[in-house]
Amino acid sequence: MEYLPFKVVSPRGGEMIFISDFRCKFLFCISHKLTVIFFSFFPAVNFDHFQILRAIGKGSFGKVCIVQKKDTKKMYAMKYMNKLKCVERNEVRNVLKELQIMQNLEHPFLVNFWYSFQDEEDMFMVVDLLLGGDLRYHLQQNVHFSESTVKLYICELALALGYLRTKRIIHRDIKPDNILLDEHGHVHLTDFNIAAIVKEDLRATSIAGTKPYMAPELFQTFEGSHPGYSFSVDWWSLGITAYELLRGQRPYVMRSSTPANEILQTFHKVHPSYPAGWSLEMKSLLRKLLCIDVQKRISCLAELQDLDYVSDVNWDAVLSKQPPPGFIPNRRRLNCDPTFELEEMILESKPLHKKKKRLARKTKDQGSDGSPQSGQLQQRLDNVQRDFIVFNRETSKRAVGDSESSELSTREENKAIEDGQNNNVKPAAYLSG
């Protein structure tokens, strides 16, 4: 049986250290003249812990299916990425970076990350299951989003962007394809594959994103006429997305193949049109989000909250998902392209539901006349195996809970000692988990 890395928790410092070379978990905390050792074992989650139900889509570097965790019966979305393909396409770095970013995030308007594990063939990410479909799907179904609905989407996504800013994260790929709806119609941002972490007072300079949603300063950075960019690029993308949801088309006509210099010319020559049926307040908000001048663009949550248009918004209520969205996905249908299931069952050369038999057969074959990968390629695959980040949010939450409980106990004991009410503190042993 494989076990998770152990974690050393210091309640006084509030720090947690992950030590990956060990396969058990110790929680070690120090109180006033008292040492308490927590010891527990948590089996690592793997492919066998899930029942595969059906394929529902494709991610940036893999496919997605619905799964059920066998012990808890909870439903999740599982994204799986073939290691060999990732290595051949030089995509491993992005996958590992996404794992690193997502394990430190948790927010009501993000698609939250629960588990990651690997086997010989694939890397797996298990995340929240949101069956409302992505906004691209609903646009393709000719759904008309009302202004009040889009206003709520803007507020919910703005809270997500505000949270990401506290983590110094630029998403860099906000678009309808990466915004999923839950069954009640609330939005959730997903796909951190090309996200960037920027240090204080520094700018990002690498170019990434989907061209029709990328801010002008990204192209200016590419052309060498701008020193870099920051969080403002996500707010531009939010503006493009909101405009598209309202009108069914984007404000600027461009394709992924359009050269950067032509796109920059388009920004300066074309002025987006705003239909007469839209409120003046919504038009004003979109103009502020789609301002080419970064200094004049709405680029943070506080600037949005200062607008009269959202003065009636109860932000605490929005954060707790109290306001009902105007559009609720059809719960009687799966809001995705049904051909994904056919691809997995018929066209896919290595369907996920046959993985266990395939790996067993592969192991047997390699025992006799197996054909190993070329030396350099095998080394890169070995590096993936070594560098992959195994994650389990359930045990992380439990460890944090143990830490907080221990810290509270420590404070109470210290206070009792200071008050002279507890001069004979007896050591105690705790078994967590």
Closest to 182 in 3D by CA, of 146, 226, 133, 140: 133
79 marked among binding-site residues:
yes
Question: Do 78 and 112 reside in the same domain of the chain?
Answer: yes
147 with 115, same domain?
no
pTM (2 d.p.): 0.79
Model pLDDT, residue 297:
98
Convert the pLDDT of each residue in 25-67 to its tens digit.
444 444 444 334 443 455 689 999 999 998 888 755 678 999 9
Q: 222 and 139 in one domain?
A: yes
pLDDT of residue 27: 41
Is 36 part of any domain?
Answer: yes
Q: Does residue 424 form part of some domain?
A: no
pLDDT reported for residue 419: 45
Choose among 310, 204, 216: nearest CA to 254: 216
Q: Is residue 80 assigned to a domain? A: yes
Determine the Cα–Cα distance for residues 208 and 222; give it in Å rounded to an integer: 10
Give me 384's structure tokens. Answer: 């993936």
For residues 151 and 144, give the distance between their C-alpha atoms in angstroms, rounded to a whole number. Answer: 14
Exposure string of 266-299, with b = 16+ CB inside 10 Å and e = fewer, is ebeeeeeebeeebeeebeebbbbbbbeebeebbb
pLDDT, one tens digit per residue, over 301-349 is 999 999 999 999 999 999 999 999 999 998 877 667 655 544 444 445 4
Supply the DSSP symbol for 18. E
pLDDT at 62: 73
Same domain, 376 and 251: no
> 235-270: per-residue pLDDT in tens?
999 999 999 999 999 999 998 899 999 999 999 999
Nearest 5°: phi and psi at 151? -60, -45
Note whether 225 and 314 are same-domain residues.
yes
Residues 162 and 311 in one domain: yes
pLDDT at 61: 61
Report if residue 432 sits inside a domain.
Answer: no
Asked if residue 122 and residue 170 are part of one domain, the reply reads: no
Is the domain of 151 the same as that of 240?
Answer: yes
Closest-CA residue to 67 (of 58, 86, 83, 80): 80
Domain housing 107: 47-131+334-389
Question: What total number of domains does the chain contain?
Answer: 3
Last residue of a domain, one of 261, 288, 319: 319
Q: Is residue 1 assigned to a domain?
A: no
Residues identified as active-site: 173
Query: Is residue 345 included in any domain, yes or no?
Result: yes
> For the chain, which ranges sit under pLDDT 50?
2-40, 341-347, 349, 367-370, 413, 415-433
Residue 411 and residue 354 share a domain: no
428 inside domain? no
Among 141, 107, 92, 128, residue whose Cα is nearest residue 389:
92
Task: Look at residue 315 in the predicted model and tell me its pLDDT.
Answer: 98
Q: Which strand (E) or helix (H) includes residue 64?
A: strand 63-69
